Amino acid sequence: MEVLMPQLGETVAEGKISTWYKNVGDKVEAGDTLFEVETDKATMEVEATESGFLTDVNFTAGETAAVGTVIAVISDSADSAGKSTATSVEEKPAGDNGTGGAEDILMPQLGETVAEGKISTWYKSVGDQVAAGEKLFEVETDKATMEVEATVAGILSDIVIAEGEAGPVGTIVARIGGGTGGTSPKQEAPKPTTPSMDLERFRPTSQPASGHLDPFNEVKTPALVRIAAKIPDGIKLTPVAKRMIQTNGIDAARLSSTVLSRGGSRVAKKDVLEFLNSGQSTSVAAEKPEFLKVTPGPHDQVVELNRFRKITAERLTASWQTAPHVYQAVEINFTALNKTRLEHKDSYKERHGTSLTFLPFIVRATAMALRDFPHVNARFDGENLVVGKEINIGIAIDLDGDGLVVPVIHNTDEMNVPGIASAIHRLVEKARESKLAPSEFEGGTYTISNNGSFNTLMTTPIINAPQVAILSTDTIQRRPVIAGSGEDEKIVPGLLGVVGQCFDHRAFDGAYSARFLNRIREIIETRDWSRDFD
């Protein structure tokens, strides 16, 4: 059967294939995602509606095709000549262990809400000998990158998902020790001891009318339609509305809000049609106004953002556009704190092997302040402030100009400065080596962006939505400070730094934020920091 470029929206005539999830020759099952299509309105995944072998791919990743053109062909047998599958050697179904002792390397769990990852780098090639524990490849998701190691020693026999390609969590990425190698494994399936559930043979040959059915699939269940957007509470979508939303790339949240606002509790077909016709269907990333369009000159270099940056860009834009950002800052005198820091610097280094910087102190102070100002330790869902029970501070870490990760210290307020320092260090190391576990960047309630090493005075960071605020710490440097008063007033050197917060003005107002910031300052300037080192 032919896989066509699907309808992409009322006014959309063509789409770009951004990613292929299958290779030519792969066995596909009905429901498998084949490829992803991008338009300037939305991206959409296209699934196989029938099982078979992907025998022809007419458009590769990066190419554009018109709606309705044949993108690929799924055939009954692995070669397009249409030989009966009963006579050809069949590929083992994915996930089956034991292609003669081969070990499957699967796409690992990448995070609670992450369904797939893209292989950004392959460190090994087919035929290479790998040792157990050796790095095989690196996976990117929109949250982080992660390295995957070989679980057994052996020859890397198959690479199923190549560099630059993506695959769902749990599917086979590669195989170690299987057959004679290759990129599309076609090995003799072991003789089954229990009846196989290959239902292909139940397709009746003399029944053209119901040829798409078999005795165990008398009814053809459609692929699930998932709407990623968060639908507000109190509204339901009819199934056909869901499908139309997906097909047309409509902003479901906006459509639902529109219906809700006029008192409806259900989005039905007519609502979708109305929405489409009213022109509101233009989503956030809609028709670009002329002045924003960029035409590269002959010598300009076009640097395509990597997937990670693109997704970060989307999130930052969304955060910026939904939360009214307000920046406030306080200037903090770190002189006293620094004394304690210097007192314990060496013993800390001796014990942990790393430097004791200002950051853990600031984090500690922030955690304590958050206890007193719980609304800052919250997330906003558009309607409600969800105040966090735990204080989980995320530290934004810049990966040498190649992305940003925010690992989270859980229950920060229960840790002392050395504890926080160690935690930060450990997380930074892991982040730099792309070894962060999903739990290590989930659950954050507040974020600190540490710009101290950039020699900047202050920074207005973008809130890590759906949190309600983010702190920036900038350079701490020696500056003249006025000490004393009246007759004793003099200028002394002191260590000063600007600590600023961007907050979502929907969540609370300037007075609350100011009090919070001043609390941090108070803690930093007046706390007996040696207590943390007892």
Partner 1 sequence: MAELTYREAVARGIAQEMERDNDVVFLGEDVAAAGGVFKATEGLIDKFGPLRVRDTPISEQAILGAAMGAAMTGLKPIAEIMFSDFIAVCFDYIANEFPKSRYMTNGQVKCPLVVRTGNGGGSRFGAQHSQSVENWAMMIPGLKVVAPSSPSDVVGLLAASVRDPDPVIFFEHKSLYATKGEVPDGEIVDQLGTAKIVRQGKDATILALALMVPRALEAAEKLSNEAGIDCEVIDVRSLVPLDMQTILTSVAKTGRLYTVEENPRLCGWGAEITSIIADEAFYDLDGPLIRITTPHIPLPAADNLEDLALPSVDRIFAKIQTTMN
Partner 2 sequence: MQNEVNQSASSLANDDIGTENRLELYRLQVEIRNAEQRAYDLFLQNLVKGTSHLSLGQEAIAAGVAVAMEPNDLSFCTYRGHAHTLARGVPSEQVLGELMQKDNGLMRGKGGSMHLTSVEHGVMGSYAIIGAHLPIACGAAWRAQYRGDKDVSVCFFGDGTTNIGAFHEALNFAVIWKLPVVFVCENNLYMEYTPISEVTAVEHPAADRACAYGLESIVIDGNDADIVYRTMKTAFDKAREGGGPSLIEALTYRHSGHSRADPAKYRPEGELEKWKERDPIKIYRERLAQFGISEEQIKEIEENSMKRIDEATEKCKAAPIPPEDILATDVYADGGWAWRN
Q: Are 248 and 214 in contact (CB under 8 A)?
A: no
User: Distances in Å between the alpha carbon of 525 and those of 270, 337, 458?
Assistant: 62, 7, 19
Q: Rounded to the nearest whole angstrom, what is the least distance from the CB of residue 207 to partner 2 in the complex?
A: 5
Task: Tell me the window of 215-223, 226-234, 314-322, 494-502 that interacts with partner 1 (CB under 8 A).
Answer: 215-223
Beta strands in 126-183 (DSSP E): 129-130, 135-140, 145-149, 154-159, 166-168, 172-176
In this structure, how many other beta carbons lie within 10 angstroms of the beta carbon of residue 131? 10
Q: Rounded to the nearest whole angstrom, what is the least distance from the CB of residue 46 to partner 1 in the complex?
A: 15
Binding-site partner at residue 242 among partner 2, partner 1, none, CB < 5 to 8 Å by type:
partner 1
d(CA 534, CA 531): 5
Q: Is 240 in the site for partner 1 (CB under 8 A)?
A: yes
Task: Tell me the window of 12-20, 114-122, 219-227, 396-404 that interacts with partner 1 (CB under 8 A).
Answer: 219-227
Q: Are 81 and 56 in contact (CB under 8 A)?
A: no
Under DSSP, the state recorded for 299 is T
Q: Rounded to the nearest whole angstrom, what is the least distance from the CB of residue 246 to partner 1 in the complex?
A: 9
Binding-site partner at residue 240 among partner 1, partner 2, none, CB < 5 to 8 Å by type:
partner 1
Task: Tell me the window of 111-119, 216-224, 430-438, 494-502 that interacts with partner 1 (CB under 8 A).
Answer: 216-224
Q: Which residues bind partner 2 (CB under 8 A)?
A: 195-196, 201-202, 204, 206-207, 209-210, 213-215, 218
Binding-site partner at residue 100 among partner 1, partner 2, none, CB < 5 to 8 Å by type:
none
| Half-sphere exposure at residue 164, Cβ-oriented, CA atoms within 13 angstroms | 7
Binding-site partner at residue 239 among partner 1, partner 2, none, CB < 5 to 8 Å by type:
partner 1
> Among residues 32 and 76, whose Cβ is nearest to partner 2?
76
Beta strands in 214-358 (DSSP E): 236-237, 266-267, 325-333
d(CA 524, CA 531): 13
Using a 10 angstrom Cβ sphere, with 0-12 exposed, 13-18 middle and 19 or more buried, the burial of residue 232 is middle
> Among residues 33 and 445, whose Cβ is nearest to partner 1?
33
Q: Is 239 in the site for partner 1 (CB under 8 A)?
A: yes
Q: Is 273 in the site for partner 1 (CB under 8 A)?
A: no
Binding-site partner at residue 220 among partner 1, partner 2, none, CB < 5 to 8 Å by type:
partner 1
Give the three-class secondary structure for 82: coil
Out of 87, 125, 205, 221, point to the residue binding partner 1 (CB under 8 A). 221
Q: At 357, which amino acid appears?
A: T
Q: Where are the alpha helices (DSSP H) in 323-448?
A: 335-352, 359-372, 417-432
CA 313 to chain centre: 12
Nearest to 12 by CA among 284, 313, 281, 314: 281
> Among residues 162 and 213, whose Cβ is nearest to partner 2?
213
Q: Is 268 in the site for partner 1 (CB under 8 A)?
A: yes
> Among residues 132 and 240, whose Cβ is nearest to partner 1?
240
> Among residues 219 and 303, whose Cβ is nearest to partner 1?
219
Binding-site partner at residue 124 among partner 2, partner 1, none, CB < 5 to 8 Å by type:
none
Q: Is 219 in the site for partner 1 (CB under 8 A)?
A: yes
Q: At 310, which amino acid appears?
A: K
Task: Tell me the window of 93-101, 241-249, 371-379, 518-526 that interacts with partner 1 (CB under 8 A).
Answer: 241-249
Residue ranges binding partner 1 (CB under 8 A): 209, 219-222, 225, 238-243, 268-269
